[in-house]
Amino acid sequence: MLELHNVNAGYGPSLVLHDVTVQVNKGEIVCLLGANAAGKTTTMKTIFGLVKPRSGSVTLEGERIDTVGTDGVIKRRLALVPEARRVFTRMSVRENLEMGAYMIDDRAAITQEMERVYTLFPRLKERDKQVAGTLSGGEQQMLAMGRALMAQPRLICMDEPSMGLSPILVQTVFDTIQRIREQGVTVFLVEQNAFMALNIADRGYVLQQGHIVLSDTAKNLLTNDLVRRAYLGG
Ligand code: ATP
């Protein structure tokens, strides 16, 4: 469904991604693991047209999307849950969700989508009118996910959704990702929490200093020596 093929990308003179090739198939949960500064966020930015590849390509169902701009990517129903959540702090929960649906004209479809999000996150429904900046970290993460779902995405990319959350909320976030997949949405997940990510993913990639050094099923990665040493604490 989504493919990065031999992508080289970076900022100014510095190259961050080196020949990165990643495939995400329809219906999968695929995770990209990597330490700080490995280039995980840069990979996400490249998919969404925020960083332009110097060479290589990004394709969605065979169509080049690295030339269509961020709007073009969103129009093709890819959604991003950005790092550190980035909800609109001065807007209410409902307004944040409405922003997620800005590409959808059909009012009835928006209402239906909002009901779906509120069923998935009853806590957000209770806080419908609350200003997003006053939500807890976990609630803001739910809101960021809900906002992405409002765009009726075919594929959702999440940049470290478990960051900064307590263990019980981390569990909730990963449970939710599985439920999102059950609703037919493909998931590409960037994580430092390798154990949790590999437990819900079908396949995974390991990014080190901008290079993909491993690619395998999640099951094999969980027992892989390099992954165990570098990401699973031995
Ligand atoms: P983390 O887990 O810490 O968020 P990451 O794997 O997501 O890390 P990136 O944010 O992709 O890593 O950063 C990769 C490298 O690119 C880092 O060395 C970073 O300093 C650099 N970088 C990121 N954004 C920019 C920018 N706008 N300008 C210059 N360098 C940047």
**What residues have CB less than 8 Å from 43, skipping those under 6 apart?**
4, 7, 17, 20, 22, 32, 190, 207
pLDDT (0 to 100) of residue 109: 87
143-to-51, 99, 120, 121, 156 alpha-carbon distances in Å: 25, 11, 11, 8, 14
pTM over 0.85, yes/no: yes
Under 8 Å between Cβ of 57 and 65? no
Distance between CA 137 and CA 38 in Å, rounded? 25
Please indicate whether residue 32, judged by its CB atom, sits closer than 6 Å to ligand 1: no
What are the pLDDT digits (tens) for 203-227? 999 999 999 999 999 999 999 998 8
Under 8 Å between Cβ of 178 and 8? no
What are the pLDDT digits (tens) for 58-114? 999 999 999 999 999 999 999 999 887 789 999 999 999 999 998 888 888 899 999
What are the pLDDT digits (tens) for 128-154? 999 999 998 888 999 999 999 999 999
pLDDT (0 to 100) of residue 234: 59
Please indicate whether residue 183, judged by its CB atom, sits closer than 6 Å to ligand 1: no
**What residues have CB less than 8 Å from 231, skipping those under 6 apart?**
33, 35, 192, 194, 195, 206
Dig out the tokens for 81 from the structure.
Answer: 């849950």
**Centre of ligand 1 from the C-alpha of residue 15, in Å:** 11
**Centre of ligand 1 from the C-alpha of residue 38, in Å:** 7
Q: Does 125 have pLDDT greater than 90?
A: yes
The torsion angles phi and psi of 204, rounded to 5 degrees, stand at: -150, 160
Q: Which of 2-11, 39-48, 62-71, 107-116 has the lowest mean pLDDT?
A: 107-116
Across all residues in the chain, what is the average pLDDT? 93
In terms of phi and psi (left: phi > 0; alpha: psi -120 to 50; beta: otherwise), the region of 189 is: beta
pLDDT (0 to 100) of residue 115: 93
Q: Does 41 have pLDDT greater than 80?
A: yes
Residue nearest to atom 19 of ligand 1 (CA): 37
- Please give the DSSP secondary-structure letter assigned to residue 34: E
Under 8 Å between Cβ of 34 and 191? no
